[in-house]
Amino acid sequence: MLQDDLIGRLILDLAALEDRVTGLCAKHTFDEALGDVETAWERLLDIPREITERVDAETLAQLVGTEPAKLRVASQLLALEAKVFAYRGQTARAAACTERSVLLAARASARR
């Protein structure tokens, strides 16, 4: 029951974050949007965002752990970063984030 409550709160937190990031991107305040995602990495997964950018996808998956819920959260955070980079016109960075997001989502699905 406690696990279900935690997952429910994570989903609500991520939905609110996605709304906020989308709004900030529409206003072209990309640094603030990335700052919000950075805060979420640390608050939700206790992983500094600067580390997520410096390690490969396999290492990031190991840092996140084996819990499917955590892998899905990390996947969604990477998808949000991809959205910011795409809005900013940084297509290579957006593609890299998307690739990593897909890998983590696949890992989460495989661990069900």
User: Helices in 27-90 by DSSP H: which ranges?
Assistant: 30-40, 49-54, 57-64, 68-88
pLDDT at 3: 53
pLDDT at 7: 61
Q: pLDDT per residue over 93-102, tens digit each?
A: 999 999 999 9
Helix (H) or strand (E) holding 28, with range, is none
The greatest distance separating any two alpha carbons of the chain, rounded to the nearest whole angstrom, comes to 43
Three-state DSSP at 27 gives: coil
Integer Rg of the chain from CA: 13
CA distances from 38 to 3, 53, 79, 109 (A): 24, 11, 13, 24
Q: Which residue has the higher pLDDT, 69 or 8?
A: 69
**CB-based contact 6:12 (threshold 8 Å):** no
